[in-house]
Amino acid sequence: MSGRPLVLASASPRRLELLRHAGFEFEIVLSQVDEAHDASLTPEQLTLENARRKALAVSLNQPGALVIGADTLVYVDGDPLAKPADMDEALSMVLRLSDRTHEVCTGVAFACDGTVVKELHVITHVTFKPLTDDLIRAYHSQVNPLDKAGAYGIQACTDMLLDRMTGSFTNVVGLPVEEVTAALHELQR
């Protein structure tokens, strides 16, 4: 890889762990941007818009660095589910996902010197088991839902919720590592 510095524009501990585990060295610089919350946009459009905002904002202050911005949302019936405001909303969100398939979409934008140089999105289909209020509360007693889109984290206590999944596991965690790795190798040539 080239000597160009790599910056992750995210506070997500899951993204940080995934990128480190993939073998990349990078700095973390948080973006101070307002995210779009436009339910009329497709999953791809909305997550990419937010990823772009994050990457561009940070890249303006990181000359020469390649900045990664990402946004992950859970979608059910075409509605985006962001992070819940409280435990009641978390319970409602996971109940809505019970016994059905939903989409997890992550948009990723790569920016350098205030210009987006590449973007991608990945969608994974996730099906939950039939769930009860008590089972969801038990899950939430083990996994904090308040910092996770859709009020769940697939990487912890997976057997309590998951029936099946089609697509990238790491995408559901918060960063589609295979696609991001390929993009970084291409961009760092």
SS3 string of 147-165? CCHHHCCCCCCHHHHEEEE
Candidates 121, 40, 38; CA nearest to 82 is 38
- Indicate whether 78 belongs to any domain: yes
Determine what percent of the chain is predicted with pLDDT higher than 90: 86
pLDDT at 2: 53
- Indicate whether 144 belongs to any domain: yes
Q: How many residues does the chain have?
A: 189
pLDDT at 64: 95
Instruction: Give 35-60 pLDDT, tens digit per residue.
Output: 988 888 999 999 999 999 999 999 99
Helices 177-187 and 13-21: crossing angle, nearest 10°? 60
Two tokens, residue 109: 């934008």
Instruction: Give 73-94 pLDDT, tens digit per residue.
Output: 999 998 899 899 999 999 999 9
- Indicate whether 1 belongs to any domain: no
Catalytic residue, chosen from 38, 71, 113, 147, is: 71
Two tokens, residue 12: 């997500």
Two tokens, residue 82: 């962001």
Query: What are φ and ψ of residue 168, in 5° steps?
Result: -75, 120
For the entire predicted model, the pTM comes to 0.92
Two tokens, residue 39: 């339910």
Confidence of residue 66 (pLDDT cuts 50, 70, 90): very high
| Number of domains within the chain | 1
CATH number of the domain within which 77 lies = 3.90.950.10
State the average pLDDT for the chain: 94
- Indicate whether 95 belongs to any domain: yes
- Indicate whether 108 belongs to any domain: yes
Task: State the residue range of the domain holding 105.
Answer: 6-187
Q: What is the mean pLDDT of residues 8-16?
A: 93
Instruction: Give 126-148 pLDDT, tens digit per residue.
Output: 999 999 999 999 999 999 999 99
- Indicate whether 181 belongs to any domain: yes
Candidates 170, 162, 136, 145; CA nearest to 81 is 145
Q: What whole-number distance in Å separates Cα of residue 155 and Cα of residue 72?
A: 15
Which residues are CB-neighbours of 47 under 8 A, at least 6 positions away? 71, 72, 73, 105, 106, 107, 121
pLDDT at 1: 41
Answer with the residue of higher pLDDT: 164 or 34: 164
Mark whether 71 is an active-site residue.
Answer: yes
